[in-house]
């Protein structure tokens, strides 16, 4: 069963057409990679799915809801979370608070005038659990801006996990990492996304082929090919458009 279904999704910014009718189906429980050359519209696709930008046209079905007109926070509450390509945390707050922000939101503790942000024991426990899973437990009390770049990437993943989403979209989680850091990140990602559906934008082909069940190649705002990694790897159009030019 597909958890996310895009039908003819279009996005243009005034004159600039970025997405030219995307059809995409993501099966629940799978790991789905989106690849494509720069400017293919990968991040825009994420922005349209998660509600950063409204789609110009088309339907986005998530768990049976057409979320195309939903606000970003409503989509998140349905069980959809994302990370960002550039580190995008609450930089002035410590690592613990960064993750707790999402956790307490999941527990419905968003706007209370009475209770504190850590009023429930479950919130603290769930926060620590996420911090341990992404390897930041020792840095919990450090302000996010003082983390190393690699740690900030890990925090991105931790924050995406914090609302306990069914579908998690990671935008280039290994961008700017060394080979060792990348290997570690891949391990963390496969560990924390167990039992969830993952859609990942990735440039590193090693990461793509070691992680993904399905690969979708985006080019020029349309889906070029979509299928299992081996199939995509063999596809001549993909070789021409993307892999060959590497």
Non-local CB neighbours of 64 within 8 Å, separated by 6+ positions: none
Among 69, 110, 132, 191, contact with other proteins (rule: CB under 8 A): 110
Should residue 76 be labelled a site residue for other proteins when binding is judged by CB under 8 A? yes
User: Half-sphere exposure (CA, 13 Å, Cβ side) for 30?
Assistant: 19
Instruction: Kindly write out the interface string for residues 83-102 of this chain, putting x where it contacts other proteins by CB under 8 A and - elsewhere.
Output: -x---xxxxxx---x---xx
Residue 94 or residue 202: which is nearer to other proteins going by CB?
94
Residue that is written with structure tokens 């409503």 in the block: 74
**CA-to-CA dists, residue 149 to 94, 130, 154, 175, angstroms:** 15, 19, 9, 10
Instruction: Among 32, 82, 153, 196, indicate the residue that binds other proteins (CB under 8 A).
Output: 82
**Size of residue set near other proteins by CB under 8 A:** 36
Site map (CB under 8 A) of other proteins, residues 143-182, x = contact: ----------------x--xx-------------------
Residues of this chain, 4-63, that bind other proteins according to CB under 8 A: 50-52
Tell me which of 86, 112, 129, 210 binds other proteins, using CB under 8 A: 112
Say if residues 159 and 83 touch (Cβ distance below 8 Å).
Answer: yes
Find the shortest distance in angstroms from Cβ 245 to other proteins: 33
d(CA 134, CA 172): 16
Q: How far is the CB of 90 from other proteins (least distance, A)?
A: 4
| Closer to other proteins by Cβ: residue 134 or 224 | 134
In whole angstroms, the minimum distance from the beta carbon of 160 to other proteins comes to 8
Nearer CB in complex with other proteins: 49/225: 49
Residues that bind other proteins (CB under 8 A): 50-52, 71-73, 76-77, 81-82, 84, 88-93, 97, 101-102, 104-106, 109-117, 119, 159, 162-163
């Amino acid at each position: 069963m597909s958890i996310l279904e895009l039908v003819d999704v279009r996005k243009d910014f005034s004159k600039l057409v970025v997405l030219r009718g995307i059809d995409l189906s993501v099966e629940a429980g799978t790991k789905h990679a989106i690849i494509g050359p720069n400017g293919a519209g990968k991040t825009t696709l994420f922005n349209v799915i998660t509600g950063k930008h409204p789609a110009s046209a088309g339907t986005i079905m998530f768990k049976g809801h057409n979320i195309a007109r939903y606000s970003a926070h409503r989509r998140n509450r349905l069980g959809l979370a994302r990370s960002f390509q550039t580190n995008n945390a609450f930089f002035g707050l410590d690592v613990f608070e960064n993750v707790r922000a999402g956790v307490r939101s999941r527990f419905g503790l968003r706007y209370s005038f009475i209770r504190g942000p850590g009023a429930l024991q479950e919130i603290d426990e769930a926060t620590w659990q996420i911090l341990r899973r992404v390897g930041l437990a020792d840095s919990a009390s450090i302000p996010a801006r003082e983390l190393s770049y690699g740690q900030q990437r890990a925090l991105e993943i931790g924050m995406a996990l914090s609302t306990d989403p069914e579908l998690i979209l990671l935008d280039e989680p290994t961008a700017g990492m060394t080979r060792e850091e990348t290997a570690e990140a891949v391990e963390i990602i496969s560990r924390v996304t167990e039992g969830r559906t993952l859609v990942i934008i990735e440039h590193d082909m090693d990461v793509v082929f070691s992680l993904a069940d399905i690969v979708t190649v985006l080019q020029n705002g349309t889906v070029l090919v979509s299928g299992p990694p081996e199939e995509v790897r063999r596809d001549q159009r993909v070789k021409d458009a993307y892999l060959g030019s590497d």
